[in-house]
Amino acid sequence: MSSALVGSSLVSSAGATLGCGDAPVLRERGQREVFCGLTGIIWLHRKIQDAFFLVVGSRTCAHLIQSAAGVMIFAEPRFATAIIDERDLAGMADANDELDRVVDQLLARRPEIRLLFLVGSCPSEVIKLDLSRAAERLSATHMPQVRVLNYSGSGIETTFTQGEDACLASLVPILPRETPGAAPSLLVVGALAEVVEDQLRRLLEGLGIGDVWFMPPRSALALPPVGPNTRYLLAQPFLADTARALEARGAVRLPAPFPLGAEGTTAWLQAAADAWGVTPERFDAVTRAPLGRARQALARHREQLAGKSVFFFPDSQLEIPLARFLAREMDMRLIEVGTPYLHRQHLAEELAWLPAGTALSEGQDVDRQLDRARAARPDLVVCGLGLANPLEAEGIGTKWSIELLFTPIQGYDQAADLAELFARPLNRRLRLRV
């Protein structure tokens, strides 16, 4: 089936029959408005406390991470940019020497660093540099104190949450092997705020699921062991490469929706409970109180959000789980749910939960999408920073999708905070009108 739009196509694929499991998806390939993968450094550097992110890039890259992270810096940051100025191929040997010198200086000044990521970017001078070879060379020099890894955060290859995927995938080869005959372990994959991680750990341990690990870990000294006895749960929907790398090591994914909202969190925990044979009585005993609190806290926001319409521009890859939460738990109306990439396997449970007939789009042709949003006049648009101001100026309420990465939103205790992120811009507009 093809649409009338040039440069776009409507694709239907066989799959689940519930919800939107087999719904047609509008695929668009045009101009995109999205941050590059360097943005992930802003939350990743706070998570792995003995890691350092050295962007090998240009002044533009340095500006991006400084301005995006600037307001949050309260201590010496764990990231920096090694600026590779314009140089031709003959100058590449110098560039490698320069990189080695910068790394030597950095490690001498910051002896607490245990893991150093060299992060590639898009300037042509950087593309010419072989960062994986540089990482190997520097690892050999600084072993065993420091491991040096590399990944790309280039805007040509990555959107902003794919930077986390590339970073975590680069970690997989150095994860220890699990001990032969070890009891099954559970690995939660995807950066979560520490408060969320602690809550989820308590719930999983309450269910009797032992040996729970989180990736990324808080320290490079606590890397999770991985092998065929590892069962893993994705905590974020944008980790396709990391999942592939874990599975190549024998780990098995537990299919589940994402832990957003009361319902998503329950189903996510249930997936682990089923794999560990937890009884329904124990599951109920552990989840009843926090689930009840979450439902109660959500009711307050539902009053305000119910019936309001929302339009998602593709940005973080969180769009489908968020849309599911807003539609099912907040009774909002979904006008269009755009996502940069639609991973049908990882999102199968989420798609099945979306209201039938939800308009889904993958990729972007920003002008066409803006036309659709303007025509629909939604109450709220979830989009990147670049689109928010013009839409606000046209009288359409917006929510910056990047906030959903910086704010703890997963789990029962954060369900109401998640709803509030969408209620706040609507409140503000209401007050302005009054």
User: What Rg, from alpha-carbon coordinates, does the chain have?
Assistant: 22
- Element of type H or E holding 362: strand 360-364
Tell which residue, 284, 359, 354, 366, has the closest CA to residue 323: 354
Which residue in 57, 217, 224, 384 binds ligand SF4 (CB under 6 A)? 57
Which residue in 121, 150, 364, 414 binds ligand SF4 (CB under 6 A)? 121
Prior bond of 216 cis (ω within 30°): yes
Choose the stretch contacting ligand SF4; rule: CB under 6 A; options: 4-12, 55-63, 131-139, 291-299.
Answer: 55-63
Which residue in 19, 155, 190, 314 binds ligand SF4 (CB under 6 A)? 155
- Element of type H or E holding 48: none
* Smallest separation (angstroms) from ligand SF4 to the CB of 91: 19
CA distances from 298 to 90, 95, 261, 354, 408 (A): 61, 54, 9, 19, 16
CA–CA separation, 277 and 92 (whole Å): 56
Nearer to ligand SF4, 40 or 57 (CB): 57
Choose the stretch contacting ligand SF4; rule: CB under 6 A; options: 121-129, 194-202, 227-235, 282-290.
Answer: 121-129
CA–CA separation, 237 and 268 (whole Å): 13
Residue 222 DSSP label: S
Q: Does 342 bind ligand SF4 (CB under 6 A)?
A: no
Residue 376 in contact with residue 309, Cβ under 8 Å? yes
Choose the stretch contacting ligand SF4; rule: CB under 6 A; options: 120-128, 172-180, 373-381, 384-392.
Answer: 120-128
Q: Which residue is nearest to ligand SF4 (CB)?
A: 155
Tell which residue, 236, 192, 230, has the closest CA to residue 214: 192
CB count, 10 Å around CB of 255? Answer: 11
Which residue in 49, 60, 132, 304 binds ligand SF4 (CB under 6 A)? 60
Q: Does 61 bind ligand SF4 (CB under 6 A)?
A: yes
126, amino acid identity: V
* Residues contacting ligand SF4: total by CB under 6 A: 13
Which residue in 8, 154, 358, 410 binds ligand SF4 (CB under 6 A)? 154
Q: Does 122 bind ligand SF4 (CB under 6 A)?
A: yes
Please, which of residues 8-47 interact with ligand SF4 by CB under 6 A? Answer: 36, 38
Residue 260 DSSP label: B
Nearer to ligand SF4, 35 or 258 (CB): 35
Q: Does 161 bind ligand SF4 (CB under 6 A)?
A: no
Residue 338 DSSP label: E
Q: Does 58 bind ligand SF4 (CB under 6 A)?
A: yes
Tell which residue, 71, 138, 49, has the closest CA to residue 102: 138
Choose the stretch contacting ligand SF4; rule: CB under 6 A; options: 138-146, 149-157, 347-355, 395-403.
Answer: 149-157
Residue 214 in contact with residue 193, Cβ under 8 Å? no
Under the rule (CB under 6 A), what is the footprint of ligand SF4?
Answer: 36, 38, 57-58, 60-61, 64, 121-123, 153-155
